[in-house]
Structure 1
């Protein structure tokens, strides 16, 4: 079997996304996906990945990894790494399809049939447009269908949002009220007023629903070390499942100090790239939960290695969503086959709206738990009719 064509696919409505589609001489197709910086990512795929991979057997995934990256120094969460990640997902899709089995089979089989989901409380169009600045102040707040106006809801109606999730059987929610504190976020130094304001939605939810719902706190790495300490200490009374990305990931020492100073679990890692960065995070005791994005950090191949390193260090791993439907499918197959993974992220504002408008199938979510369909590979593809629309751009490199 040989790869004959490598396509990148862009949809103007979702300018952060780029899909990679591999075609083989035996008629099999594999799909991958990545997110952010699509121009540079697409350029790397056609300039570096395609010249190497065309004509190769797609099933030799272990061989292809380093060659697809190009110069080995580009191992961070870069355009090169994102291009490699999307292509790696597509290679695994082809490999599983060549055997006629779902992806989880070639990952060693499921360790569970379903996995609880938690909802990242993003609006339908949150993060779907290119970021103009280092902020989340106006990412879709008050826009999109009212049913999934989750960002506005956690800021203004947090108990109503928690009730809606519980009614769907979803018993975990991640929110980021600290992002919306204006000048505090700009300089990374939280005020006492800001601390109390950011904490209030968590207090309201706990008062209304007690321990019936798990709370996760997203901080988006906006804070300096002293402010992150203050926020984490203030959150102790609501006992969140984890506090995510309290400080930028460029200084592992800061994460280590934070994790050593609190019984709360710090979750981080989704924007790292390369195995060495994850090893440094784990070795420095910088977190209690390793978070990995299959489209940013080396695809499925690296994800398996990061999960194994985490398990050896007695840490759990979780796979990131809030990007696109192909990543969710790949992440779910991984999660079901990974012993030290206990939950899967979804954004219901995406899952129940534009995700289903792009792909043929989605991993089923029933009563707050996710699984995969018993179909070969990832179990989905891009909708053919969607690809015929005028806002679609397809670029192809061929053998």
Structure 2
């Protein structure tokens, strides 16, 4: 069995473009996957075409070898490269598991748990009451964990623009002055969210690296009464020393890792205990091969894993297959909001199901979902979504 070709389809996924991938072999075996790099769709498609040329004729069962070859032979790294590697790596795991008639989690060591806790999103909205209303709706839908973005920085935002003017301009850097009242303003939102959610629901906030160290510490202090499960990327992710300083001075766990390029990139953050929660993304870090290495390294340092995963059904399936096998798994992100859910059923058959905030581990071969090729070919990506506009 040899790799014959690698096909890809960029498609409209509402707030962004997704890229679906299929690895095909000369004997008819296939493996499928999904990735997204917001604002760089065409770059990902071009990279997949080049990687496909390099891998033609290779043995698809040698996943570890191919992962190493794709990364080292490129010479230059970065997340654009590892996103392309992620797509092919996940498809290879799917292909091999399908060929054996077993789920991917069986090849990754077997299920450690029977269900995977999944969290969803709630927009901050224009007021504390608006956030509280959305949180109540998410909890009523069965979710036991909800994340939002920083009020005043993000209220209602798409991939290309803020629909409302923000109190903190979207282009403001982390070193610029913030209004002195902003921390109390943000705290009002989380007071309302906690009251709406009750004491048992996990609440989290994503800062997208918008703060400096002193501001991040002030934010954590302001939100401490509301028992957040973690504060995500309070400072720019590139500096492990900044993350470590924040982590060492606040009581709320600090999370980061969605932009790690692979297990090598994650090592300084984990070994220096810069975070209490590691957030690798199987569609960014190099696929299941790299994500499992990151999770194992985190386990050795007593750090929990909460996967970054605001994407669609195939990447979610890959994320949750791995999550099921990990002793140090905490919870996984999902974008199962009312606006995004219809795309799940459009592009795949057997989309993973979340019931009462959990994905139940099943025995479907491979990753589980199967691509609807006819729908992929009918969909056209919206490249306006690649123009940027938000931090």
> Is TM > 0.5 for Structure 1 vs Structure 2?
yes
1: CA distance, partners of 2:169 / 2:198: 29
Aligned match of 2:387: none
CA, structure 1 residues 168+23, in 2 after alignment: closer, same or farther (shift >3 Å)? same
Aligned partners of 2:230 and 2:253 also within 8 Å: yes
**Partners of 1:155 and 1:23 in 2: CA distance:** 50
Correspondence for 1:366: 355
Between 38-47 and 56-65, the greater mean CA deviation after superposition: 38-47
Q: Does 1:270 align with 2:273?
A: no
In structure 2, relative to structure 1, the CA distance for the partners of 1:330 and 1:233 (3 Å cut) is: same
Moved more, 301-310 or 225-234: 225-234
* 3-state SS in 2 of match to 1:187: coil
- 1:379 aligns to 2:364 (yes or no): no
Deviations 1:91-148 (A, max 9, x none): 1100111111011111111011112221122xxxxxxxxxxxxxxxxxxxxxxxxxxx
How far, CA to CA, are the matches of 1:361 and 1:208 in structure 2? 33
Match of 1:183 in 2: 168
Partner residue in 1 for 2:318: 330
Map 1:289-368; keep pairs closer than 5 Å. 289-349=277-337, 352-368=341-357
* In structure 2, C-alpha distance between the alignment counterparts of 1:59 and 1:381, rounded to whole Å: 20
Partner of 1:142: none
The two structures have a TM-score, normalised by structure 1, of 0.86
What CA distance in whole angstroms lies between the structure 1 residues aligned with 2:3 and 2:352? 27
Matches of 1:249 and 1:342, distance apart in 2: 21
Distance 1:187 1:276 in 2: 28
- Structure 1 residue 171: deviation in Å? 1.2
1:187 shift after superposition: 3.5
CA distances 1:349-391 after superposition (whole Å, capped 9, x unpaired): 2553222211112222112211244211011122133134263
The aligned counterpart of 1:391 is: 380
> Structure 2, unaligned stretches of length 5 or more?
155-165, 383-391
Distance 2:236 2:138 in 1: 30
Distance 1:268 1:166, change over 3 A: same
SS at match of 2:306: strand
Higher mean displacement: 17-26 or 309-318 = 17-26
Would the alpha carbon gap of residues 12 and 209 (structure 1) be closer, same or farther in structure 2, given more than 3 Å must change?
Answer: closer
Structure 1 counterpart of 2:7: 7
Q: Where does structure 1 lack aligned partners over 5 or more consecutive residues?
A: 122-149, 394-399
Contact preservation (8 Å) 1:119, 1:345: yes
- TM-score, with length taken from structure 2: 0.87
CA contact (8 A) 2:145 2:202 kept: yes
Q: Separation in 2 of the partners of 1:105 and 1:297?
A: 21
Give the structure 2 partner of residue 116 of structure 1.
Answer: 117
In 2, Cα distance between equivalents of 1:248 and 1:340: 25
CA RMSD, aligned part only? 2.1
Deviations 1:171-224 (A, max 9, x none): 111011332353365133432222222221110122344313211111011112
- Aligned counterpart, 1:67: 69
CA spacing shift, 1:307–1:7, aligned 2, 3 Å: same
Partner of residue 131, structure 1:
none
Q: Any conservation in 2 of the 1:82–1:298 contact (CA below 8 Å)?
A: yes
Displacement of 1:158 in angstroms is 2.2
For residue 156 of structure 1, report the CA deviation from its aligned partner. Answer: 4.8
2:130 to 147, 157, 160: 157
Going from structure 1 to structure 2, the CA distance change for 1:46 and 1:223 (only over 3 Å counts) comes to: same
- Matches of 2:263 and 2:377 in 1, distance apart? 39
Is the contact between residue 4 and residue 56 of structure 2 (CA under 8 Å) also seen in structure 1?
Answer: yes
Q: 4+ residue stretches of structure 1 with deviation over 6 A?
A: none
